[in-house]
Structure 1
Amino acid sequence: MRAGNRHGELEEILLRLEKGKISTEDAIEKITVQAPISYNEINHRESLEELIKELDRMIGLEKVKKLVKEIYAYIEIQKKRKEEGLIAEPLVMHMIFKGNPGTGKTTVARLLGKIFWKMGILEKGHLVEVERADLVGEYIGHTAIKVREQIKKSLGGILFIDEAYSLARGGEKDFGKEAIDALVKGMEDYKENLILILAGYQEEMDCFLKSNPGLKSRFPIHIDFPDYELDELIRIAESIVEKRQYKLSISAKAKLSKLITQKRMEDHVLSGNARLVRNLIERAIRKQAVRLQKTGSFSREDLLTIKGEDIAEGDV
């Protein structure tokens, strides 16, 4: 890509981002393909106020919203204390996220990275998401190397470990414990330039922390991500379709409610929460397209509306 073209395409993408016509994630994806630039070149146009508003607009997650406001107030007061020559304590931000799939843990972690970067807590604010396979090696010494590599990638941002309890599930010959020890060392070595978030199911995370008492004390912030209520999931569905310039008919909302309730009765823990809703909406949009294509004639209203028949029983 020639320099002039690259600059023009970047400006167009960033202008669309600024006007709210494209999400930050979509902008990152487009720029990665068309004209790679650094993560912060995208995020610098989002103010702290805008990021907090984005968090406030998220459905549910009241504990997370309260936490961010507490941290913001703490930072401001610490700045004032420093100006007055008083002791200003650093903030330890390592966290435990507990909840079922689809309750917003990864989404919140990604947004917190950007918020903390704007607050000056983190240098970059990016999120590195890993699981057991990214940390545990196959031979002696290999695990420490893999952990150090992931920590290095995460410096200035957040290292997010999903299903973290799996690190303690192996037997005596398993290297999971070595990974935990290496992570603890990294937390100490880079405590002012790294936030570690361990995430997973509530029950499994509780057992994991009990099995390693020294670990729990290193994570002062514990956040529970409860399952969404049915009305919250419908609001999430409405938010998803609105962003894509669609709308749900009354019959579509009724069908969604029925399917979500059915799924929760069948399998509560793995019901998917917001993830289930996203999948249902994406399938419905595809089915709406097929339905309209078959008619051969449709209005603007038809293009906008997702009907009950677009949400099939077999989708869950």
Structure 2
Amino acid sequence: MLQHSVTQRKSQINIVLNHAEEKLEAADSALAEAVRKHIPLERIQKEMEQLIGLQEVKHLLKEVYAWLFVNQCRQENGLRQNSQALHMMFKGNPGTGKTTVARLLGTLFLEMNVLSKGHLIEVERADLVGEYIGHTAQKTRELVKKAKGGILFIDEAYSLARGGEKDFGKEAIDTLVKAMEDYHEDFILILAGYSEEMDNFLSLNPGLPSRFPLMIDFPDYSNDELLEIARKMISERQYRFSREAEWKLKKSFIMKRIDETGSFSNGRFVRNIIEKAIRKQAVRLLGADVIDRTSLELILPEDIPIED
């Protein structure tokens, strides 16, 4: 009786396992078919179309997809695959879309079976560097562990080299370099920061440039692109600019660039202006005799703040 029960249980387990294997094979087949139809590329291109500008970045993403796709085709045809690390360096001012593009890459690499999870862990120096010898390596390894299967995105990465040889930032860099080697099959590191500082960072660490085959520049947006971003942001909030408000907004972009002594914050600058404009409009409407849908939607020139 006991032997029969055990045999029956084994049979049930085998049925479950076979069913699970069939489901996995079907999922793999569906994924392969999706890749053959370039669905992952179409999906990321659709997402990228929502981003203003970034034409060179969009082209590079297509190149990366094409390389991954052809590598899969070579494997299916018994040819040697071209091995290439996908660690990247993003160079540019704040608000130029670096984090957004990193998230999209995570999604693409998940769909292409390059990464097992495709998630993004975003950190900065304070998250990596500890207060005593050995602490930094421990903190960095823990973050790498969390990022395995996805992307570790380090903003203002050049700050890791600011303190010189005795600074614990060097310990973080050494730990990251080791992780790039140990987990290269299911881990991608993206370093990001201002262009000039990142170039200086690379010059201080001669072994780093060769480890980042993909160097992507994120240029500042033009004034027309900033205005397009502003229209998109304001529309998502169910507002709209009057023609005069748009002119004042564009003029503020021009003046900001002239007066700017440091780096320009691009999309962040636009977002800050819009949030201030919405608050100013709200104060203006407090004294209105009539508040209707049109007045609630419309941003007027007097609502556009003059930035210092």
TM-score range, shorter chain: 0.7 to 0.9
Letter in 1 for 2:79: L
Structure 2 match to 1:159: 152
Residue 156 of structure 1, CA deviation = 1.2
Residue 87 of structure 1, CA deviation = 0.9
- Map 1:4-153; keep pairs closer than 5 Å: 49-153=42-146
Q: 2:75–2:81: 8 Å Cα contact kept in structure 1?
A: yes
Aligned with 1:121: secondary structure? coil
Distance (whole Å) between structure 2 residues aligned to residue 127 and residue 256 of structure 1: 34
Structure 2 match to 1:200: 193
State the Cα deviation string for residues 65-118 of structure 1 (Å, max 9, x = none).
Answer: 111111211122112111111112344110111111111212221222222222
Pairing 1:248–2:236 present = no
Letter in 2 for 1:267: E
Distance (whole Å) between structure 2 residues aligned to residue 81 and residue 47 of structure 1: 18
Structure 2 match to 1:223: 216
Aligned with 2:79: secondary structure? coil
Q: 1:249–1:305: 8 Å Cα contact kept in structure 2?
A: yes
Aligned with 1:129: secondary structure? strand
Letter in 2 for 1:179: A
State the Cα deviation string for residues 194-247 of structure 1 (Å, max 9, x = none).
Answer: 110111111111111011111110000001111111001000101111222221
Letter in 1 for 2:232: S
What is the TM-score when the length of structure 2 is the normalising length? 0.83
Q: 1:163–1:198: 8 Å Cα contact kept in structure 2?
A: yes
Distance (whole Å) between structure 1 residues aligned to residue 119 and residue 275 of structure 2: 27
Structure 2 match to 1:171: 164
Pairing 1:274–2:258 present = no
Q: 1:48–1:119: 8 Å Cα contact kept in structure 2?
A: no
Higher-Rg structure is: 2
Residue 47 of structure 1, CA deviation = 6.6
State the Cα deviation string for residues 143-171 of structure 1 (Å, max 9, x = none).
Answer: 11011011011111111111111111113
Total equivalences in the alignment: 270
Which segments of 5 or more consecutive residues in structure 2 lack a partner in the other structure? Answer: 1-38
Which segments of 5 or more consecutive residues in structure 1 lack a partner in the other structure? Answer: 1-45
Residue 312 of structure 1, CA deviation = 1.9
Letter in 2 for 1:178: E
Q: 2:40–2:112: 8 Å Cα contact kept in structure 1?
A: no
Letter in 1 for 2:178: K
Q: 2:230–2:274: 8 Å Cα contact kept in structure 1?
A: yes
Distance (whole Å) between structure 2 residues aligned to residue 92 and residue 76 of structure 1: 15
Aligned with 2:192: secondary structure? strand
Aligned with 1:263: secondary structure? helix
Residue 123 of structure 1, CA deviation = 1.5
Distance (whole Å) between structure 2 residues aligned to residue 268 and residue 73 of structure 1: 40
CA RMSD of aligned residues (A): 1.7
Letter in 1 for 2:123: V
Letter in 2 for 1:207: N
Residue 285 of structure 1, CA deviation = 1.4
Residue 57 of structure 1, CA deviation = 2.5
Residue 296 of structure 1, CA deviation = 4.7
Q: 2:297 aligns with which of 295, 304, 308?
A: 304
State the Cα deviation string for residues 116-152 of structure 1 (Å, max 9, x = none).
Answer: 2222222222111111111111111111101101101
Distance (whole Å) between structure 2 residues aligned to residue 52 and residue 118 of structure 1: 14
Letter in 2 for 1:65: K
Residue 173 of structure 1, CA deviation = 2.3
Letter in 1 for 2:132: Y
Structure 2 match to 1:263: 256
Distance (whole Å) between structure 1 residues aligned to residue 186 and residue 287 of structure 2: 56
Distance (whole Å) between structure 1 residues aligned to residue 43 and residue 293 of structure 2: 32
Letter in 1 for 2:227: I
Letter in 2 for 1:240: M
Distance (whole Å) between structure 1 residues aligned to residue 244 and residue 259 of structure 2: 23
Distance (whole Å) between structure 2 residues aligned to residue 259 and residue 96 of structure 1: 31
Structure 2 match to 1:287: 280
